[in-house]
Amino acid sequence: MLRIVLVSAVALVLAGCNQTFSEMSPEQQQEFVQKRGAECQIIGYKPGTRAYTDCIQTAVRENDRDTSRQRAAAASSGPTTCNRIGNTVTCF
């Protein structure tokens, strides 16, 4: 029972993490590109230019790298110990 709870907790934590671009839904991808495109425009890149496209592609790669790092850190954080006292479960 405790293992099921622990696995479920880890799954919830990972679900809350960023997603790689390819894991995003088409709507999420569109939102990502719009947000990053706006950031690229603030920097000075003009839509339709190679530099603008490169800026967005760099943001996609950085997002994917950050997501991979977060997942690796979560996976290597070591075992979690949980103690149950009555109706309370404390994990550390």
Interval 29-39: pLDDT, tens: 999 999 999 99
Radius of gyration of the chain (CA): 19
Per-residue pLDDT of 41-51, as tens digits, reads: 999 999 999 99
pLDDT band at 72 (very low <50, low <70, confident <90, very high): confident
Q: Are 92 and 80 in contact (CB under 8 A)?
A: yes
Domains in the chain: how many in total?
1
Q: Which domain holds residue 29?
A: 2-91
